[in-house]
Amino acid sequence: MTQRSAVRGRLLTFTADPAEAGAAASHRYWGDGIVVLEAGSIVAVGDAASILPSLPEGTPIDHYPDQLVMPGLIDTHIHYPQTQVIGSYGEQLLEWLQKYTFVEEQKFADPAHAGRVAGFFVDELFRNGTTTAVVYCTVRPESAEAFFAESHKRNARMIAGKVMMDRGAPERLLDTAQHGYDETKALVERWHGRGRQHYAITPRFALTSTEAQLEASGALLREHPDCYLQTHLAENHDEIATARRLYPQASSYTDIYDRYGLLGPRSLFGHCIHLDEAELERLSVTRSIAAFCPTSNLFIGSGLFDLATMRDPRRPVRVSLATDVGGGTSYSMLRTAAEAYKVLQLRRQNLPALDAFYLMTLGNARALSLEDRIGALAPGHDADLVVLDARATPSMAHRMETVAGDLAEELFVLMTLGDDRSVRATYVAGVKAHAA
């Protein structure tokens, strides 16, 4: 019989989007709750007083009386080969790619380097309370192999893909439409559905793929409809102008991807900052997802994501939240939420703390169509948890002195002042994978 264990603390889990259901109906909270874990899954959630008596004698219990126990955080767009690109000075997107990113990504031809970075990267996610991420690898299939091997070894639910790029980058980073297709196919067969791994077909963006490669990407998505598709869209004005020049027959940047059948409910588009109404309409109709990457959009100077326009009830676009390291400057979804708040402030919009924590958990799980597995504390869900401490630093503890039991205010302190220092513990498939 597999060993049961439990995590006790202040439990918080979302059941609905606060922007739709209202704050009160969006979540459940237990001031003294218990999550019972067995064989990598959650088997019970509820009041400590009612669950404790039913636990077998000697069940190990990790008790966090003052901390918040939540589902593990989810990052919907991040580049693992950019752990040494993060914090690179002074350029906007296209120059940044050429000067820093494409230089660094060439190092992943060496499987030893790829393996070392994959290990660092997964550690860093867990240290920040992130238990699922949607990950770009490099063009080299070995880089995807290294990432999946690491994630599988750690028993983490991850979505990743080898980048496909057959133009617009240094020779050593290019595949061809046929090679990209064949290598992707082999990786899908090897990794998609193995343990907790999922595959994302990953044409990097229109600037680095020929028509033949986008065609091949569409074919892959049709042949593997339960895989994801990830790419970049409308991040930067020079990028958009170049995309339009390369694809003069398309009516918009979004239409480029649309023509090859790349829009859909499992398609994630990073950035989506500069889109017109017709493009938003197509994203909405196809139920595609726009990934909001605030630290990256600020750092690379790309622009301010328009959440209210995305949420227009006449044609709502599904939105997720993401770090986009290494254009993004933090692995922390808390820091990411803080920057999302500031971006929206500059647009005279808001992001209440409950909405932000919904996005980091159930909202992002829904964006990935994984809400029956992750993103909530519920029986049958994967035992991926984060334990967050709103008093982790002197400044936070001092600020918390004025928060008298108001959960939304505590969450706002966590997202505004918190980072990896607020992550007391991270559990992955029921195992403590990080403890502060």
Positions in the binding site for ligand GUN (CB under 6 A): 79, 93, 97, 101, 204-205, 232, 235, 296, 324, 327
Cβ nearer to ligand GUN, comparing 89 with 314: 89
Cβ nearer to ligand GUN, comparing 207 with 362: 207
- Could you give the C-alpha distances from 160 to 2, 102, 149, 156, 290, in angstroms and in order? 30, 19, 11, 12, 17
The answer to whether 114 and 80 are in contact (CB under 8 A) is no
The answer to whether 353 and 403 are in contact (CB under 8 A) is no
Report residue 34 as tokens: 């218990």
Cβ nearer to ligand GUN, comparing 300 with 370: 300
Report the nearest approach of ligand GUN to the CB of residue 32 (Å). Answer: 43
- Cα–Cα distance, 267 to 253 (Å, whole number): 15
Report the nearest approach of ligand GUN to the CB of residue 391 (Å). Answer: 34
Cβ nearer to ligand GUN, comparing 27 with 204: 204
Report the nearest approach of Zn ion to the CB of residue 35 (Å). Answer: 33
Cβ nearer to ligand GUN, comparing 100 with 126: 100
The answer to whether 306 and 387 are in contact (CB under 8 A) is no
Q: By 3-state DSSP, what share of the chain in percent is helix, strand and coil, each rounded to 5?
A: 40, 25, 35
- Cα–Cα distance, 312 to 272 (Å, whole number): 15
Report the nearest approach of Zn ion to the CB of residue 204 (Å). Answer: 9
Report the nearest approach of Zn ion to the CB of residue 78 (Å). Answer: 8
The entry of Zn ion, ligand GUN, none that residue 235 binds, CB within 5 to 8 Å by partner kind = ligand GUN
Of the chain, the end-to-end C-alpha distance in Å amounts to 30
Residue ranges in 160-267 assigned as alpha helix (H): 177-191, 211-223, 237-246, 253-259
Report the interface residues with Zn ion, using CB under 5 A: 270, 324
> Which residue's beta carbon is nearest to the bound ligand GUN?
327
Total Cβ atoms within 10 A of residue 63: 12
Report the nearest approach of ligand GUN to the CB of residue 273 (Å). Answer: 11
CA proximity to 168, closest of 118, 214, 222, 108: 214
CA proximity to 184, closest of 199, 169, 173: 199
Helix or strand run (H / E) with residue 116: helix 111-127
Report the nearest approach of Zn ion to the CB of residue 202 (Å). Answer: 10
The entry of Zn ion, ligand GUN, none that residue 106 binds, CB within 5 to 8 Å by partner kind = none
Cβ nearer to Zn ion, comparing 329 with 426: 329
The entry of Zn ion, ligand GUN, none that residue 381 binds, CB within 5 to 8 Å by partner kind = none
Cβ nearer to ligand GUN, comparing 17 with 104: 104
Report the nearest approach of ligand GUN to the CB of residue 82 (Å). Answer: 7
Cβ nearer to ligand GUN, comparing 18 with 81: 81
The entry of Zn ion, ligand GUN, none that residue 121 binds, CB within 5 to 8 Å by partner kind = none
Q: What is the largest CA-CA distance in the chain?
A: 69
- Cα–Cα distance, 303 to 300 (Å, whole number): 9
Report the nearest approach of Zn ion to the CB of residue 75 (Å). Answer: 11
Report the nearest approach of ligand GUN to the CB of residue 355 (Å). Answer: 24
The entry of Zn ion, ligand GUN, none that residue 288 binds, CB within 5 to 8 Å by partner kind = none
The entry of ligand GUN, Zn ion, none that residue 389 binds, CB within 5 to 8 Å by partner kind = none
The entry of ligand GUN, Zn ion, none that residue 27 binds, CB within 5 to 8 Å by partner kind = none
Query: What phi-psi label fits residue 251: left (phi over 0), alpha (psi between -120 and 50 degrees) or beta?
Result: alpha
Cβ nearer to ligand GUN, comparing 161 with 327: 327
Cβ nearer to ligand GUN, comparing 5 with 130: 130
The entry of ligand GUN, Zn ion, none that residue 204 binds, CB within 5 to 8 Å by partner kind = ligand GUN
Bond into 326 cis (ω within 30): yes
Report the nearest approach of ligand GUN to the CB of residue 418 (Å). Answer: 24
User: What secondary structure, in 3-state letters, does 374-420 show?
Assistant: CCCCCCCCECCEEEECCCCCHHHHHHHCCCCCCHHHHHHHHHHHCCH
- Cα–Cα distance, 382 to 55 (Å, whole number): 19
The entry of ligand GUN, Zn ion, none that residue 320 binds, CB within 5 to 8 Å by partner kind = none
Cβ nearer to ligand GUN, comparing 79 with 140: 79
Report residue 148 as tokens: 């999946």
The entry of ligand GUN, Zn ion, none that residue 104 binds, CB within 5 to 8 Å by partner kind = none
The entry of Zn ion, ligand GUN, none that residue 101 binds, CB within 5 to 8 Å by partner kind = ligand GUN
